[in-house]
Copies of this chain bind each other. A is one copy, B any other.
Amino acid sequence: MVKSDMFHVKPIAATSSLRALAYEALKEAITNMNIYDQKEEVRLDERKLSLNLGVSRTPVREALTVLEQEGFVRFEARRGVFVIKKTKSEIVAMIQAWSALESMAARLACTRATDEQLACLREHFPEFYEGRPSDHLDEYSDANIRFHQKIISLGQCDVIRDLTSNLLMHVRGIRNAAMRQGDRAANSIKEHVAIIQALEARDADLAERLVREHGLGLARHVETYGDYLD
């Protein structure tokens, strides 16, 4: 039996179920379509979807069930499955919940994260903190999202990570759009720097407050300028 110890096999590819594949494909399609450009509601046809995906209706329906649970689609019996367009006030509510969770993550990060992990925050986005951010807004939008995700991962709380990942899918587009309104990008960077400093100083109360105010500021901005959503 000693010989078999020489054998090291990886635990198989674990080929995903069709349901999981359908879920990924549909979520990808929905989040990329930018619903808010469309005037009228977008309806999804179960039969067409299953035809396009090359699978039967069953896994498609189960994938849609998950997406309904996540707030992306809405079932209407014998009428259709519709992609949900969030209202302005719903977006604001999501940003507020996000702020609550991210600020708690920042608090937890102050005691849980190592110095090396905190250093990543600064190292990953060095170029944008010098010079005018308005010159590379697209890059900064991505970096902005990553920054907030990084804070959440530093909190090392799986529940917060999971809950926010759902919210991010809904809010991602709005976050980037808001960045382009007014002089928010430059201001955002200043706040990010202050957040990093608070984390490095291990000041949990300050880090939490700064993250919360940063988030609630975005909420107020959407509340004021987000009428195009409705």
Contact = CB atoms under 8 A, between A and B. Distances in A.
Interface in A51-96: 58, 61-62, 65-66, 69-70, 77, 90, 93-94, 96
Q: Report the copy number of this chain in the oligomer.
A: 2
A158 interface: yes
A159 interface: yes
A159 B96 contact: yes
Nearest to A205: B209
A164 to B, nearest CB: 9
Interface stretch (A99-107, A129-137, A142-150, A175-183): A99-107
B108 A96 contact: yes
B97 A157 contact: yes
A34 interface: no
Contact of A99 (B65, B77, B104, B167): B104
A17 interface: yes
Residues of A in contact with B, size category:
20 to 34
A160 interface: yes
Contacts of A90: 158-159
Contacts of A158: 90, 93
Contact of A65 (B62, B101, B104, B159): B62
A163 interface: yes
Contacts of A100: 100-101, 103-105, 160
A41 to B, nearest CB: 20
11 contacts: A62-B65, A66-B69, A90-B158, A93-B160, A96-B108, A97-B163, A99-B104, A100-B101, A100-B104, A100-B160, A101-B101
Given A93-B160, A100-B104, 10 more contacts: A17-B77, A58-B58, A65-B65, A93-B159, A94-B159, A96-B160, A97-B101, A97-B104, A97-B157, A97-B160
